[in-house]
Amino acid sequence: MGQLSMLELCRNLPNLRHMVYASSSSIYGTSAKPPFSLDERADTPIAPYGATKRSAEILSASYNHLYNLKLTGLRFFTVYGPWGRPDMAYFLFTKAILAGEPIAVYNNGNMQRDFTWIDDIVSGILAALYSLKSQGHRYYNLGNNKPEQLMDLISVLENSIGKKAIINYAPTPPGDVFITYSDITKSREDFGYSPKVSIQEGLPKFVQWYREYYGV
């Protein structure tokens, strides 16, 4: 409904040049082969979140066809950093490790995510917004182009915090995928997207922000 409201607003703006909106790697579900390419059909998301994001893309395609709107959907891959979503693993893990509480680790830690630092995402959004090559309605992946093992993420957090995690292994929830991995070839070609921050650099920055913000 949020996407529909924005599209209705945009079609009635006389001088709209370009609308960039957030999609997600979740639209790929379990059918895509890593690295996830824009050529994948992406029509079998396995959770409601991914389904709503794919629906937003399809709505945008129809509005482009009907009203000739210039639209770009950016498929974000596991964005992390200060002011991030508190329900994401890296945020929950940091909170729990600092408090001496256990963390839930799914599938024995055999999960991989394409963790993307927030500054790299912001650079990609701005580059896409002002790109002259983004005509009509297009999609792009914005990720780090490098999946990381979940246990490596935990190790970096432990080192940054100076404290070991208490790990409880748990079954994988039905809406979780085992790997996300972005193919950013098109983003690099069309608007020079080039992520630079690894988890070894980004996670310590996040932990520092977390300590300062929450006073722990």
The model's pLDDT over 152-162, given as tens digits with 9 standing for 90+, comes to 999 999 999 99
pLDDT at 132 over 70: no
Active site residue 49: yes
Task: Share the mean pLDDT of the chain.
Answer: 94
Of 49, 130, 169, 214, catalytic = 49
- Name the pLDDT band for 32 (thresholds 50, 70, 90): confident
Domain ranges of the chain: 2-214
Global pTM value: 0.94
For domain 2-214, give the CATH number: 3.40.50.720
User: Which pairing describes strands 148-149 and 112-113: parallel, antiparallel, or unpaired?
Assistant: antiparallel
